[in-house]
Structure 1
Amino acid sequence: MTFTNPQIQVEDLPNIEDVALKPISKSYLKIIALNSLALYSLVLGGVFGLKYLIKEDGYQANFWYVFLGVLIICIINFIISILAFKKRKYAVRGFDVIYAKGLIVHSVTTVPISRIQHVEESRSWLARHFGLSTLKIFTAGEAGSDLSIKGLPHLEAKGINDFISSQVNGNN
Protein backbone atom coordinates (compact mmCIF):
# COMPACT_ATOMS: atom_id res chain seq x y z
CA MET A 1 0.00 0.00 0.00
CA THR A 2 1.42 3.37 -1.00
CA PHE A 3 0.74 6.57 0.81
CA THR A 4 -1.01 9.29 -1.20
CA ASN A 5 -1.79 12.80 -0.13
CA PRO A 6 -3.36 14.67 -3.04
CA GLN A 7 -3.37 18.44 -3.00
CA ILE A 8 -6.77 20.12 -2.81
CA GLN A 9 -7.37 23.20 -4.89
CA VAL A 10 -8.65 25.94 -2.60
CA GLU A 11 -10.74 27.37 -5.43
CA ASP A 12 -12.74 24.10 -5.59
CA LEU A 13 -13.75 24.13 -1.91
CA PRO A 14 -17.29 25.23 -1.00
CA ASN A 15 -17.47 28.89 -0.04
CA ILE A 16 -18.98 29.66 3.38
CA GLU A 17 -20.10 33.06 2.09
CA ASP A 18 -22.53 31.25 -0.24
CA VAL A 19 -24.54 29.98 2.76
CA ALA A 20 -27.65 32.05 3.53
CA LEU A 21 -27.20 32.83 7.22
CA LYS A 22 -30.33 33.72 9.17
CA PRO A 23 -30.20 36.61 11.68
CA ILE A 24 -31.16 35.91 15.28
CA SER A 25 -34.40 37.36 16.64
CA LYS A 26 -34.59 41.14 16.91
CA SER A 27 -36.09 40.68 20.36
CA TYR A 28 -32.65 39.60 21.57
CA LEU A 29 -31.48 43.18 20.99
CA LYS A 30 -33.85 44.23 23.80
CA ILE A 31 -32.16 41.73 26.14
CA ILE A 32 -28.71 43.03 25.16
CA ALA A 33 -29.89 46.60 25.76
CA LEU A 34 -31.47 45.81 29.14
CA ASN A 35 -28.39 43.88 30.34
CA SER A 36 -26.06 46.64 29.14
CA LEU A 37 -28.10 49.41 30.74
CA ALA A 38 -28.19 47.52 34.05
CA LEU A 39 -24.41 47.08 33.96
CA TYR A 40 -23.79 50.72 33.00
CA SER A 41 -26.10 51.89 35.78
CA LEU A 42 -24.07 49.89 38.31
CA VAL A 43 -20.75 51.20 36.95
CA LEU A 44 -21.90 54.83 36.85
CA GLY A 45 -23.52 54.44 40.27
CA GLY A 46 -20.21 53.07 41.58
CA VAL A 47 -18.29 56.03 40.16
CA PHE A 48 -20.85 58.39 41.66
CA GLY A 49 -20.68 56.55 44.99
CA LEU A 50 -16.90 56.97 45.04
CA LYS A 51 -17.48 60.74 45.10
CA TYR A 52 -18.79 60.35 48.64
CA LEU A 53 -16.22 57.76 49.73
CA ILE A 54 -13.07 59.42 48.40
CA LYS A 55 -12.61 62.79 50.09
CA GLU A 56 -9.31 63.67 48.40
CA ASP A 57 -9.33 67.02 46.66
CA GLY A 58 -7.84 65.55 43.46
CA TYR A 59 -10.74 63.17 42.96
CA GLN A 60 -13.36 65.71 44.01
CA ALA A 61 -11.97 68.33 41.62
CA ASN A 62 -11.86 65.88 38.71
CA PHE A 63 -15.01 63.88 39.51
CA TRP A 64 -17.05 65.17 36.60
CA TYR A 65 -14.22 64.42 34.16
CA VAL A 66 -14.01 60.86 35.49
CA PHE A 67 -17.80 60.48 35.37
CA LEU A 68 -17.98 61.89 31.83
CA GLY A 69 -15.11 59.60 30.69
CA VAL A 70 -16.83 56.52 32.08
CA LEU A 71 -20.15 57.64 30.55
CA ILE A 72 -18.53 58.07 27.12
CA ILE A 73 -16.96 54.60 27.36
CA CYS A 74 -20.38 53.16 28.25
CA ILE A 75 -22.04 54.91 25.30
CA ILE A 76 -19.37 53.73 22.85
CA ASN A 77 -19.65 50.18 24.20
CA PHE A 78 -23.45 50.32 23.83
CA ILE A 79 -23.21 51.49 20.22
CA ILE A 80 -20.71 48.74 19.39
CA SER A 81 -23.03 46.16 21.00
CA ILE A 82 -25.92 47.31 18.84
CA LEU A 83 -23.82 47.27 15.67
CA ALA A 84 -22.38 43.84 16.55
CA PHE A 85 -25.90 42.48 17.02
CA LYS A 86 -26.47 42.74 13.27
CA LYS A 87 -23.53 40.35 12.68
CA ARG A 88 -25.06 37.51 14.74
CA LYS A 89 -26.33 34.99 12.21
CA TYR A 90 -26.68 31.22 11.99
CA ALA A 91 -27.51 28.37 9.63
CA VAL A 92 -28.38 24.74 10.19
CA ARG A 93 -27.53 22.45 7.30
CA GLY A 94 -27.73 18.70 6.82
CA PHE A 95 -24.21 18.07 8.10
CA ASP A 96 -23.24 21.13 10.15
CA VAL A 97 -24.28 24.19 12.15
CA ILE A 98 -22.76 27.59 11.34
CA TYR A 99 -22.71 30.64 13.62
CA ALA A 100 -21.22 34.03 12.76
CA LYS A 101 -20.73 36.91 15.17
CA GLY A 102 -18.53 39.89 15.94
CA LEU A 103 -18.12 43.43 14.69
CA ILE A 104 -14.50 44.21 15.44
CA VAL A 105 -13.35 40.58 15.47
CA HIS A 106 -15.69 38.67 13.16
CA SER A 107 -15.72 34.91 13.66
CA VAL A 108 -17.54 32.11 11.90
CA THR A 109 -17.84 28.82 13.78
CA THR A 110 -18.84 25.63 12.00
CA VAL A 111 -19.64 22.52 14.03
CA PRO A 112 -20.11 19.27 12.09
CA ILE A 113 -23.17 17.37 13.30
CA SER A 114 -21.08 14.17 13.30
CA ARG A 115 -18.93 15.71 16.11
CA ILE A 116 -21.82 16.80 18.32
CA GLN A 117 -22.19 14.84 21.57
CA HIS A 118 -25.36 16.52 22.76
CA VAL A 119 -27.39 19.70 22.40
CA GLU A 120 -29.17 21.71 25.06
CA GLU A 121 -31.82 24.40 24.90
CA SER A 122 -32.01 26.85 27.81
CA ARG A 123 -34.00 29.96 28.67
CA SER A 124 -33.34 32.68 31.22
CA TRP A 125 -36.29 34.44 32.83
CA LEU A 126 -35.75 37.47 30.58
CA ALA A 127 -35.47 35.28 27.47
CA ARG A 128 -38.71 33.50 28.45
CA HIS A 129 -40.41 36.89 28.66
CA PHE A 130 -39.39 37.64 25.06
CA GLY A 131 -40.04 34.08 23.81
CA LEU A 132 -36.37 33.34 23.15
CA SER A 133 -33.96 30.48 23.86
CA THR A 134 -30.25 29.72 23.80
CA LEU A 135 -29.05 26.64 21.95
CA LYS A 136 -25.85 25.11 23.35
CA ILE A 137 -24.01 22.58 21.23
CA PHE A 138 -21.43 20.32 22.88
CA THR A 139 -18.74 18.32 21.10
CA ALA A 140 -16.33 15.72 22.45
CA GLY A 141 -13.23 16.69 24.39
CA GLU A 142 -14.15 20.21 25.46
CA ALA A 143 -15.21 21.62 28.78
CA GLY A 144 -18.41 23.60 28.33
CA SER A 145 -20.34 24.20 25.13
CA ASP A 146 -18.49 24.59 21.86
CA LEU A 147 -21.18 26.71 20.30
CA SER A 148 -23.85 28.80 21.97
CA ILE A 149 -26.46 30.54 19.84
CA LYS A 150 -28.38 33.08 21.91
CA GLY A 151 -31.54 34.85 20.81
CA LEU A 152 -33.32 32.11 18.88
CA PRO A 153 -37.12 32.07 18.89
CA HIS A 154 -38.18 29.35 21.34
CA LEU A 155 -40.02 27.12 18.85
CA GLU A 156 -37.19 27.42 16.33
CA ALA A 157 -34.59 26.51 18.96
CA LYS A 158 -36.71 23.54 19.99
CA GLY A 159 -36.98 22.41 16.36
CA ILE A 160 -33.23 22.72 15.80
CA ASN A 161 -32.62 20.87 19.07
CA ASP A 162 -34.92 18.04 17.96
CA PHE A 163 -33.29 17.88 14.50
CA ILE A 164 -29.74 17.75 15.84
CA SER A 165 -30.70 15.25 18.55
CA SER A 166 -32.27 12.94 15.97
CA GLN A 167 -29.16 13.21 13.77
CA VAL A 168 -26.82 12.56 16.71
CA ASN A 169 -28.89 9.59 17.91
CA GLY A 170 -29.09 8.14 14.41
CA ASN A 171 -32.86 8.58 14.03
CA ASN A 172 -32.59 10.38 10.68
Structure 2
Amino acid sequence: MSLNDPIPQEQWIPTQHTLYTPVAAEYLKLVALTTLLLGLIPVSIALAMMMLVMALALPWLLTGGLLLTLLLALWVYLRHLGARRLGYMVREQDMVVRRGIFWQRHTCLPLSRLQHVTLSQGPLDRFYGLSTLRGFTAGSPHAEITLPGLPSDQAEQLRQHLMAKAGFRHEP
Protein backbone atom coordinates (compact mmCIF):
# COMPACT_ATOMS: atom_id res chain seq x y z
CA MET A 1 0.00 0.00 0.00
CA SER A 2 1.42 3.41 -0.97
CA LEU A 3 0.94 6.68 0.93
CA ASN A 4 -1.67 7.81 -1.60
CA ASP A 5 -3.88 4.73 -1.14
CA PRO A 6 -6.79 5.24 1.24
CA ILE A 7 -7.04 3.14 4.37
CA PRO A 8 -9.49 0.27 3.85
CA GLN A 9 -12.77 0.90 5.65
CA GLU A 10 -12.43 -2.16 7.88
CA GLN A 11 -9.28 -0.56 9.38
CA TRP A 12 -10.99 2.75 10.22
CA ILE A 13 -11.11 3.67 13.88
CA PRO A 14 -14.35 5.64 14.43
CA THR A 15 -14.32 8.61 16.77
CA GLN A 16 -17.94 9.72 16.68
CA HIS A 17 -19.52 6.67 18.31
CA THR A 18 -16.96 5.82 20.97
CA LEU A 19 -17.01 6.71 24.64
CA TYR A 20 -15.13 9.83 25.57
CA THR A 21 -13.89 10.55 29.07
CA PRO A 22 -15.53 13.77 30.26
CA VAL A 23 -13.64 16.56 31.97
CA ALA A 24 -14.02 17.08 35.72
CA ALA A 25 -17.31 18.29 37.19
CA GLU A 26 -15.36 21.10 38.87
CA TYR A 27 -14.49 22.40 35.41
CA LEU A 28 -18.19 22.80 34.64
CA LYS A 29 -18.54 24.91 37.79
CA LEU A 30 -15.47 26.94 36.87
CA VAL A 31 -16.76 27.66 33.36
CA ALA A 32 -20.18 28.70 34.68
CA LEU A 33 -18.63 30.92 37.36
CA THR A 34 -16.14 32.68 35.09
CA THR A 35 -18.71 33.14 32.32
CA LEU A 36 -21.22 34.59 34.75
CA LEU A 37 -18.68 36.92 36.35
CA LEU A 38 -17.30 38.08 33.00
CA GLY A 39 -20.82 38.55 31.68
CA LEU A 40 -22.05 40.57 34.66
CA ILE A 41 -19.54 43.36 34.01
CA PRO A 42 -20.79 44.28 30.50
CA VAL A 43 -24.42 43.77 31.53
CA SER A 44 -23.97 46.12 34.50
CA ILE A 45 -22.27 48.73 32.32
CA ALA A 46 -24.99 48.42 29.68
CA LEU A 47 -27.74 48.83 32.27
CA ALA A 48 -26.01 51.90 33.73
CA MET A 49 -25.67 53.43 30.26
CA MET A 50 -29.32 52.66 29.51
CA MET A 51 -30.33 54.42 32.73
CA LEU A 52 -28.36 57.50 31.71
CA VAL A 53 -29.59 57.56 28.12
CA MET A 54 -33.20 56.82 28.90
CA ALA A 55 -33.27 59.21 31.87
CA LEU A 56 -34.90 56.54 34.00
CA ALA A 57 -37.58 55.64 31.48
CA LEU A 58 -38.68 52.57 33.37
CA PRO A 59 -40.39 50.50 30.62
CA TRP A 60 -37.33 50.74 28.33
CA LEU A 61 -35.00 50.04 31.21
CA LEU A 62 -36.94 46.93 32.27
CA THR A 63 -37.16 45.64 28.70
CA GLY A 64 -33.46 46.23 28.06
CA GLY A 65 -32.49 44.75 31.42
CA LEU A 66 -34.61 41.68 30.78
CA LEU A 67 -33.10 41.23 27.32
CA LEU A 68 -29.55 41.59 28.64
CA THR A 69 -30.28 39.13 31.45
CA LEU A 70 -31.67 36.59 28.99
CA LEU A 71 -28.63 36.98 26.73
CA LEU A 72 -26.31 36.51 29.72
CA ALA A 73 -28.23 33.39 30.79
CA LEU A 74 -28.03 32.00 27.24
CA TRP A 75 -24.28 32.68 27.11
CA VAL A 76 -23.71 30.94 30.47
CA TYR A 77 -25.81 27.97 29.34
CA LEU A 78 -24.00 27.59 26.00
CA ARG A 79 -20.55 27.80 27.63
CA HIS A 80 -21.64 25.23 30.24
CA LEU A 81 -23.01 22.95 27.50
CA GLY A 82 -19.74 23.29 25.56
CA ALA A 83 -17.78 22.30 28.68
CA ARG A 84 -20.10 19.31 29.24
CA ARG A 85 -19.51 18.08 25.70
CA LEU A 86 -15.73 18.37 26.01
CA GLY A 87 -14.17 14.92 26.24
CA TYR A 88 -11.15 12.86 25.30
CA MET A 89 -10.01 9.34 24.68
CA VAL A 90 -6.57 7.80 24.54
CA ARG A 91 -6.12 4.95 22.12
CA GLU A 92 -3.10 2.84 21.22
CA GLN A 93 -1.94 5.12 18.39
CA ASP A 94 -3.41 8.53 19.24
CA MET A 95 -5.32 10.80 21.57
CA VAL A 96 -8.62 12.33 20.45
CA VAL A 97 -10.28 15.43 21.91
CA ARG A 98 -13.94 16.13 21.16
CA ARG A 99 -15.40 19.60 21.53
CA GLY A 100 -18.25 21.66 20.19
CA ILE A 101 -21.94 22.22 20.74
CA PHE A 102 -23.52 22.51 17.31
CA TRP A 103 -20.49 21.50 15.24
CA GLN A 104 -18.59 18.62 16.81
CA ARG A 105 -14.84 18.68 16.26
CA HIS A 106 -12.72 15.58 16.85
CA THR A 107 -9.00 16.38 16.95
CA CYS A 108 -6.54 13.48 16.80
CA LEU A 109 -3.00 13.75 18.08
CA PRO A 110 -0.91 10.87 16.67
CA LEU A 111 1.41 9.74 19.45
CA SER A 112 4.14 8.99 16.89
CA ARG A 113 4.37 12.75 16.19
CA LEU A 114 4.20 13.90 19.82
CA GLN A 115 7.08 16.22 20.73
CA HIS A 116 6.19 17.26 24.27
CA VAL A 117 3.29 17.61 26.69
CA THR A 118 2.76 20.49 29.11
CA LEU A 119 0.45 21.07 32.05
CA SER A 120 -0.67 24.52 33.12
CA GLN A 121 -2.83 25.97 35.89
CA GLY A 122 -4.27 29.41 36.45
CA PRO A 123 -5.23 30.65 39.92
CA LEU A 124 -8.84 29.46 39.62
CA ASP A 125 -7.66 26.13 38.20
CA ARG A 126 -5.47 25.65 41.28
CA PHE A 127 -8.41 26.54 43.55
CA TYR A 128 -10.52 23.83 41.90
CA GLY A 129 -7.60 21.38 41.59
CA LEU A 130 -7.62 21.41 37.77
CA SER A 131 -5.00 21.50 35.03
CA THR A 132 -4.90 22.07 31.28
CA LEU A 133 -2.95 19.52 29.22
CA ARG A 134 -1.35 20.56 25.92
CA GLY A 135 0.29 18.14 23.51
CA PHE A 136 2.54 19.50 20.77
CA THR A 137 3.43 17.69 17.56
CA ALA A 138 6.22 17.92 15.05
CA GLY A 139 5.79 19.71 11.78
CA SER A 140 3.89 22.88 12.60
CA PRO A 141 3.99 25.54 15.29
CA HIS A 142 0.18 25.38 15.46
CA ALA A 143 -0.10 21.59 15.68
CA GLU A 144 -1.27 21.10 19.22
CA ILE A 145 -4.11 19.66 21.21
CA THR A 146 -5.52 21.38 24.30
CA LEU A 147 -7.57 19.70 26.99
CA PRO A 148 -8.70 21.89 29.92
CA GLY A 149 -10.57 20.77 33.01
CA LEU A 150 -8.60 17.71 34.10
CA PRO A 151 -8.07 16.95 37.79
CA SER A 152 -4.40 17.76 38.44
CA ASP A 153 -3.38 14.23 39.45
CA GLN A 154 -5.18 12.74 36.45
CA ALA A 155 -3.55 15.32 34.14
CA GLU A 156 -0.09 14.38 35.40
CA GLN A 157 -0.86 10.69 34.99
CA LEU A 158 -2.12 11.30 31.44
CA ARG A 159 0.97 13.38 30.63
CA GLN A 160 3.25 10.56 31.83
CA HIS A 161 1.23 7.99 29.85
CA LEU A 162 1.34 10.04 26.63
CA MET A 163 5.07 10.63 26.94
CA ALA A 164 5.69 6.92 27.56
CA LYS A 165 3.53 5.98 24.55
CA ALA A 166 5.45 8.48 22.43
CA GLY A 167 8.68 6.75 23.38
CA PHE A 168 10.10 9.23 25.89
CA ARG A 169 11.74 7.72 28.94
CA HIS A 170 11.72 9.39 32.35
CA GLU A 171 15.17 9.44 33.87
CA PRO A 172 15.25 9.83 37.70
Classify the TM-score, shorter chain.
Answer: 0.7 to 0.9
For the structure 1 residues 7 and 161, does the alpha-carbon distance in structure 2 shift closer, same or farther, using more than 3 Å as the test? closer
Q: Determine the C-alpha separation between the residues in 1 that align with 2:81 and 2:3.
A: 47
1:99 aligns with 97
1:34 aligns with 2:33: yes
For the structure 1 residues 73 and 114, does the alpha-carbon distance in structure 2 shift closer, same or farther, using more than 3 Å as the test? same
TM-score, with length taken from structure 2 = 0.83
Which stretch has the larger CA shift, 64-73 or 142-151?
A: 142-151
Q: Determine the C-alpha separation between the residues in 1 that align with 2:151 and 2:143.
A: 20
For the structure 1 residues 60 and 51, does the alpha-carbon distance in structure 2 shift closer, same or farther, using more than 3 Å as the test? farther
Partner AA of 1:84 in structure 2: G
Unaligned runs of 5+ in 2: none
1:45 aligns with 44
Q: Aligned-pair distance for 1:24? A: 0.8
Decide whether the 8 Å contact of 1:51 with 1:60 is kept in 2. no
User: Per-residue CA shift, 1:5-36, capped at 9, x if unaligned?
Assistant: 54544354222245431111111011001101
Q: Aligned-pair distance for 1:135? A: 0.3
Q: Could you tell me the percent identity over the aligned residues?
A: 24
Q: Aligned-pair distance for 1:51? A: 3.2
Matched ranges for 1:2-17 at <5 A = 6=5, 8-17=7-16
1:148 aligns with 2:146: yes
2:61 aligns with 63
Q: Aligned-pair distance for 1:153? A: 0.8
Partner SS state of residue 85, structure 2: coil
1:109 aligns with 107
1:85 aligns with 83
Which stretch has the larger CA shift, 107-116 or 9-18?
A: 9-18
How many residues align structurally?
169
Q: Determine the C-alpha separation between the residues in 1 that align with 2:127 and 2:6.
A: 52
Partner AA of 1:47 in structure 2: A
TM-score, with length taken from structure 1 = 0.83
Matched ranges for 1:128-143 at <5 A = 128-143=126-141
Decide whether the 8 Å contact of 2:94 with 2:108 is kept in 1. yes
Partner SS state of residue 46, structure 2: helix
Partner SS state of residue 71, structure 1: helix
Decide whether the 8 Å contact of 1:121 with 1:157 is kept in 2. yes
For the structure 1 residues 93 and 80, does the alpha-carbon distance in structure 2 shift closer, same or farther, using more than 3 Å as the test? same
Q: Aligned-pair distance for 1:84? A: 2.5
User: Per-residue CA shift, 1:13-64, capped at 9, x if unaligned?
Assistant: 2222454311111110110011011112101111122135x4466x887333
Partner AA of 1:156 in structure 2: Q
Unaligned runs of 5+ in 1: none
1:163 aligns with 161
